């Protein structure tokens, strides 16, 4: 599309309320990103009607005008029309709306960096349990070898406040040594002894019927155990951030080296000990006791209902709220059912339903997709392909999965299946994490039974409910009404997400039916596009970004990467690179324009997690390394790693056909372009 960049830029400026209403501007691979002084002055309909504008997105405090591959050329003209905050520098974002989902995501962002240590030490505990259960090995719980390794395995939870100090600093941009010192104080042996009420010479008293000590001789400090605690440090996040900024502001440069940390500690530690710590300790104890009571009183409610609802909890992001409770349960109760068991039952059921579709369908491509999705869910615990690519797509398999998960969860609750450590995404491979307790193998045996029940039941129910109507499935006929029925059953949030998938499915079906009639005859040779990444291939409609999911930029697929190496998917030329290094645009030898966009909203990271291995206009061969991305750094920054692979000139082709969804690696075909 040939654009008059000057006219288009001026039209956009007029549409958003004039140059004076633009606080700053930048661009990414496909979007002009504006921060407006007053979004109320922008006329969305007028902007969308401008030639060259594909859509308007308002997200993260930015007014995003979707242009496509020509945005970099347009921006060169756009930036000359006003003082918009620099030569493509990242625009200053307005504060993100602080809703409950944001809060859960923020908390999860503080806990996620700790998962590798949690997984490793947890599995060490499992190995110790296995070793001591085999008498022939001669290792007992009293042996030096056992004690040494148990110290390692238990250290993560015991010193959890210190590790949280590090991850919180990483998430907030604060000083890790300062935050870690606050956490370390909670684990200091003398303080632990005093807070346990066992220190000689300390005068103890009571406050509201609870034992306490006194700071400064008059300020009561409730006696609480802080080792293995989660909530006190999480509750301290805003106070530590404010205290650090305040200490930095009031400390003269010549004294800042010691005055800033001193002021920080003088503010944070009394606040933690006298107010925030006791609140967190009491809340943590109440939550743990409440969950223990609920689990022991009505296990079917705790595990059965949560297992049935887990797909919708995950889809709406509410599973983030379970992470602190899960960590708290492991630290205080020694086991967890809220996450480990319920997600186990749910994940297995998702896979069983996908297997049911594969067994029932006559469509070879769908059968292959169903098998891959089922294996991914039951063996690896990765349910997104099954959930979005199969079960929600056809609705009835999702109903089967919910019924099966609830039933197996009911049995797991009644037989007291518990998870004793974190061992990756819950699946059949994670059964080993159910080893523990007074009867170490009780949970494994009954967990395996529950898993088999879940997969078999969801498989059988899917065989009965699912109808293999190939023509109707391709066009998406009748899929909207079941989605609304699901919403009426109590999953409104999930239904909204599902309708987006159905809409995308319908659009895909319409394009398939109309492809020959609506598109010009193929004038270019066919090309096969390989996966640029290791990971899981999913439908583009499943990407949580309406520009990509809606096909606004073109047809394609998306990949959930397992590593950060991005390779050329075909022979071609590098047509565009970004200062933010988060995306690559290629022109294939047949003229197909391919956009590989690593992560969502990763333009805001200013290139830090990325490194290009090619230059613009460089000829590349299939399999050449294009860029390297630090996936963990992307996640730690709060961004998602979904990587869309889009054919931005899709209208030039008769058909763009995705290969089977599921696990892929570089060299596996993901798209056929004709």
Tell me, letter by letter, the H, E, C secondary structure of 375-441: HHHHHHCCCHHHHHHHHHHHCHHHHHHHHHHHHHHHHHHHCCCCECCCCCCCCHHHHHHHCCCCCCC
At CA 71, angle to CA 68 and CA 76, rounded to 5?
Answer: 170
pLDDT tens, residue by residue, 110-124: 776 776 787 677 778
pLDDT (0 to 100) of residue 518: 35
Q: What is the pLDDT of residue 633?
A: 87
- Asked if 118 and 167 touch (Cβ cutoff 8 Å), the reply is no
Residue 625: φ, ψ to 5°:
-75, 125
- The full set of domains in the chain, from first to last, is 5-81 (3.30.1360.60), 159-296 (no CATH), 298-488 (no CATH), 522-673 (2.70.70.10)
Token pair, residue 7, equals 């006219």
pLDDT reading at 473 higher than 80:
no
Q: What's the pLDDT score for residue 56? A: 82
Q: Which of 27, 319, 582, 597 is catalytic?
A: 597
Q: What is the pTM of this model?
A: 0.49
41-95 tens-digit pLDDT: 889 888 888 888 877 877 666 788 888 767 778 888 888 887 775 433 333 444 4
pLDDT over 90 at 373, yes or no: no
Q: What is the 3-state secondary structure (H, E, C) of 49-118?
A: CCCCCCEEEEECCEEEEECCCCHHHHHHHHHHHCCCCCCCCCCCCCCCCCCHHHHHHHHHHHHHHHHHHH
Exposure class string for 545-558: b at 16+ Cβ within 10 A, else e? bebbbbbbbbbbbb
- pLDDT tens for each residue of 132-144: 777 787 788 788 8
* Confidence band for 508, pLDDT divided at 50, 70 and 90: very low
| Residue 450 known to be catalytic | no
Among candidates 288, 286, 289, 268, which has minimal Cα distance to 277? 268
Residues 227-256 have a mean pLDDT of 90
Most confidently modeled range among 7-11, 413-417, 457-461, 555-559? 457-461
Q: Which of 28, 212, 373, 450 is catalytic?
A: 28
**How far apart are the C-alpha atoms of 370 and 386, rounded to whole Å?**
7
pLDDT digits (tens, 9 = 90+) for 182-204: 999 999 999 999 998 888 889 99
- pLDDT value of position 146: 87
Q: Is 597 known to be catalytic?
A: yes
């Amino acid at each position: 599309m040939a654009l008059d960049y000057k006219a288009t830029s001026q039209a956009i400026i007029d549409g958003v309320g004039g140059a004076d209403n633009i606080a700053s501007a930048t661009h990414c691979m496909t979007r002009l990103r504006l921060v407006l002084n007053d979004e109320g002055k922008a006329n969305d309909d007028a902007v969308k009607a401008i030639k060259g504008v594909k859509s308007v997105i308002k997200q993260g405090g930015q007014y995003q005008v979707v242009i496509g591959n020509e945005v970099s050329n347009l921006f060169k003209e756009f930036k000359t029309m006003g003082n918009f905050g620099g030569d493509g520098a990242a625009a200053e974002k307005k504060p993100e709306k602080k809703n409950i989902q944001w809060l859960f995501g923020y908390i999860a962002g503080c806990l996620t960096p700790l998962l590798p240590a949690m997984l490793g030490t947890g599995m060490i505990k499992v190995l110790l349990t296995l070793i001591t259960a085999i008498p022939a090995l001669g290792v007992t719980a009293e042996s030096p070898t056992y004690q040494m390794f148990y110290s390692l395995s238990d250290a993560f939870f015991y010193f959890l406040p210190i590790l949280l100090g590090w991850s919180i600093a990483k998430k907030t941009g604060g000083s890790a040594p300062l935050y870690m010192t606050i956490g370390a104080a909670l684990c200091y042996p003398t303080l632990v002894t005093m807070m346990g009420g066992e220190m000689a010479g300390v005068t103890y008293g009571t406050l509201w019927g609870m034992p306490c000590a006194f700071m400064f001789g008059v300020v009561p400090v409730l006696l609480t155990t802080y080792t293995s605690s989660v909530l006190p440090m999480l509750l301290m996040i805003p106070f530590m951030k404010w205290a650090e900024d305040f200490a930095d502001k009031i400390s003269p440069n010549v004294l800042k080296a010691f005055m800033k940390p001193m002021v920080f500690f003088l503010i944070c530690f009394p606040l933690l000990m006298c107010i925030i710590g006791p609140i967190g300790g009491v809340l943590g104890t109440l939550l743990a006791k409440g969950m223990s009571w609920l689990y022991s009183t009505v296990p079917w409610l705790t595990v059965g209902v949560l297992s049935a609802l887990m797909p919708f909890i995950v889809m709406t992001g509410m599973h983030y709220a379970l992470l602190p409770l899960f960590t708290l349960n492991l630290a205080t109760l020694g086991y967890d059912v809220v996450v480990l068991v319920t997600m186990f039952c749910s994940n297995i059921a998702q896979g069983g339903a996908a297997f049911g579709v594969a067994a029932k369908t006559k469509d070879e491509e769908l059968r292959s997709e169903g098998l891959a999705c089922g294996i991914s869910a039951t063996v690896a615990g990765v349910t997104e392909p099954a959930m979005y690519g199969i079960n929600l797509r056809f609705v009835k398999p999702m109903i089967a999965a919910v019924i099966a998960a609830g039933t197996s969860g009911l049995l797991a609750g009644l037989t007291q299946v518990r998870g004793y450590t974190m061992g990756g995404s819950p699946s059949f491979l994670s059964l080993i994490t159910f080893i523990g307790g007074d009867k170490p193998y009780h949970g494994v045996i009954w967990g395996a039974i529950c898993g088999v029940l879940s997969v078999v039941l969801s498989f059988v129910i899917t065989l009965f409910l699912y109808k293999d109507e190939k023509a109707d499935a391709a066009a998406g006929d009748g899929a909207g009404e079941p989605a609304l029925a699901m919403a009426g059953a109590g999953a409104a949030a999930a239904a909204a997400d599902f309708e987006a998938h159905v809409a995308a499915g319908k659009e895909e079906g319409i394009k398939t039916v109309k492809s020959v009639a609506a598109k010009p005859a193929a004038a270019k040779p066919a090309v096969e596009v390989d996966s640029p990444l290791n990971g899981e291939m999913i439908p583009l409609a499943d990407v949580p970004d309406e520009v990509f999911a809606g096909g606004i930029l073109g047809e394609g697929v998306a990949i959930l990467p397992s590593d950060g190496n991005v390779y050329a998917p075909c022979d071609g030329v590098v047509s565009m690179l970004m200062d933010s290094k988060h995306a690559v645009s290629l022109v294939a030898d047949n003229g197909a324009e391919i956009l590989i966009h690593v992560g969502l909203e990763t333009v805001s990271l200013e290139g830090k997690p990325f490194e290009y291995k090619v230059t613009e206009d460089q000829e590349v061969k299939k399999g050449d390394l294009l860029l390297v991305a630090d996936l963990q750094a992307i996640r730690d920054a709060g961004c998602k790693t979904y990587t869309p692979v889009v054919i931005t000139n899709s209208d030039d082709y008769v058909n763009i056909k995705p290969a089977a969804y599921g696990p892929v690696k570089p060299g596996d075909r993901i798209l056929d372009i004709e």
